[in-house]
Amino acid sequence: MATMAKKQKPKPDNLIAQNKKARHDYTITDTYEAGIALTGTEIKSVRDGKINLKDGFARIRNGEVWLENVHISPYREGNQFNVDELRNRKLLLHRKEINKLGAATAGQGNTLVPLKVYLKHGYAKVLIGVAVGKHNYDKRETLKKRDQERDIARALRER
């Protein structure tokens, strides 16, 4: 008798880390996928999920995009090859994308925030978003709208 294996729900894009606070604190207007220039022990830590995007942001300097304030824990077996956990890491983007990001962040109050880190074809990628800061009343409005949508969905399911 043949048994059928359970279908496993695939992880979306091999998601490693997500910045949930970013969508709460900012309105995301546009997103870009970028590669991250990492050292050998850093990529091993990232694959283990030892990355924290909570306070991270990106900045354009000298025509290059740098990911700052993102914590990647040292690799346990890395010994002397480990690097500083909070070092700035270069993001790999095309020149046209860097120019678009520069124009988008030139406005008052716009910033670049990392939204999630995932593996794609064996390479670590980061999804960065062009973000505009929310006020407290906007945050409450978003929470209220989400609760209302959840209540509507629940009522439709119960029918």
The whole-number pLDDT of residue 3 equals 54
Concatenated DSSP letters for 39-64? Answer: -HHHHHHHHTT-EE-TT-EEEEETTE
- How does pLDDT run across 11-34, given as a tens digit for each residue? 565 889 999 888 888 889 999 999
Return the structure tokens found at 149.
């949508």
Predicted pLDDT of residue 115: 94
Q: Which CATH architecture has domain 13-158?
A: Beta Barrel (2.40)
Q: What would the pLDDT profile of 78-125 be if each residue is shown by its tens digit?
A: 777 777 888 899 999 999 999 999 998 887 888 999 999 999 988 999
Average pLDDT, the chain: 86
Burial 20-51 (b: 16+ CB within 10 A, else e): eebbeebeeeeebebebebbebbbbbbeeebb
85 and 50 Cβ atoms separated by less than 8 Å: no
Handedness of CA 61, 22, 36, 84 (dihedral sign): positive
Each domain of the chain, given as residue ranges in start order, spans 13-158
Q: What is the pLDDT of residue 113?
A: 94
What predicted TM-score, i.e. pTM, was given to this entire model?
0.78
